């Protein structure tokens, strides 16, 4: 169901982001404390990833709040670009975390460090996968309904956390069968998964900031609307661009010469 007002949009984004933040606090504490207890670097890394989700939750809230401000003298097209910048911040945070995880695990493998975290890691990772997939599905749906790129990026941050927990889960199973470096290998897999998501989000933000036009389907819909209006005799110079969750359209139209000045203006 599309969101029709700015207040509705803000409330829905606020609600799902706060629920996500609460989940991140719980999972972060569970993973880090348990990871330290069972000496699992992969689980601690997964907990750090959940902690990074908190920073991106706040980035979404801040970016959305600023982007919903009406246009003014200094920003005649509104403030939607701030939401795109918030999405880029999320991507950068994800990339930095991924590099740190890969480096840390690589050093552990080089130093021939072995670890056998036990059955508890499977339970915690399983809980994380289920919880994160649920919040990912809800957040992605609301991001599509509200047209929020920052919320969409945050949804994929939730998904990347679920994927990282799957890698931890696989590594935990392998360690139960006696592979002492499976935990470190799982950490590296987590790092590359996060890096891929970060690259995808950052690229999409660059495309928007480069003023790329709307997709062909959207342009065809706009052209169809212009063609069906009987008061428009002709049109040209159609230009489109993305502004956060909105589509900005500029077009020159020629109206029916028999129309009144007031009707032509409308």
Residue 164: which of 201, 192, 199 has the closest Cα?
A: 192
Q: Is the pLDDT of residue 4 over 60?
A: no
CB atoms within 10 A of CB 63: 31
Which range (15-19, 119-123, 185-189, 212-216) has the least confidence?
A: 212-216
Per DSSP, the three-state class of 180 is: coil
Q: Which helix (H) or strand (E) holds 233?
A: strand 232-243
CB 165 within 8 A of CB 40: no
Is the confidence at residue 116, as pLDDT, over 80?
Answer: no
The answer to whether 164 and 193 have CB atoms below 8 angstroms apart is yes
Percent of the chain beyond pLDDT 90? 1
**DSSP string over 17-69:** HHHHHHHHHHHHHHHHHHHHHHT-HHHHHHHHHHHHHHHHHHHHHHHHHHHTS
Mean per-residue pLDDT, 88-115: 78
Distance between CA atoms of residues 106 and 103, nearest Å:
5
**The pLDDT of residue 1:** 47
Give the model's pLDDT for residue 229.
78
User: Two tokens at 94?
Assistant: 């994800």
What are 43-93's pLDDT values in tens digits?
777 777 777 666 667 666 666 666 666 666 665 565 566 667 777 777 887
């Amino acid at each position: 169901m599309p969101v029709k007002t700015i207040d509705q949009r803000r409330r829905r984004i606020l609600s799902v982001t706060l629920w996500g933040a609460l989940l991140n606090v719980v999972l972060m504490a569970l993973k880090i404390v348990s990871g330290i207890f069972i000496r699992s670097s992969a689980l601690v890394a997964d907990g750090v990833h959940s902690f990074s989700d908190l920073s991106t939750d706040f980035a979404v809230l801040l970016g959305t709040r600023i982007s919903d401000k009406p246009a003014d003298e200094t920003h005649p097209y509104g403030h939607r670009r701030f939401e795109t910048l918030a999405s880029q911040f999320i991507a950068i945070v994800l990339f930095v975390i991924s590099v740190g995880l890969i480096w840390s695990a690589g050093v552990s493998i080089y130093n021939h460090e072995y670890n056998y975290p036990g059955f508890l890691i499977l339970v915690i990772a399983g809980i994380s996968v289920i919880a994160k997939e649920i919040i990912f599905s809800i957040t992605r749906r609301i991001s599509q309904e509200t047209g929020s790129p920052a919320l969409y990026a945050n949804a994929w941050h939730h998904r990347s956390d679920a994927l990282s927990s799957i890698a931890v889960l696989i590594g935990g199973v392998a360690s139960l069968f006696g592979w002492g470096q499976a935990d470190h290998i799982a950490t590296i897999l987590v790092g590359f998964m996060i890096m891929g998501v970060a690259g995808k989000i950052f690229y999409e933000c660059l495309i928007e900031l480069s003023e790329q036009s709307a997709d062909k389907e959207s342009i065809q819909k706009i052209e169809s609307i212009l063609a069906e209006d009987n008061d428009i005799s002709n049109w040209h110079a159609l230009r489109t661009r993305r502004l956060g969750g909105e589509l900005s359209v500029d077009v020159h139209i020629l109206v029916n010469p028999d129309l009144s000045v007031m009707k032509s203006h409308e």
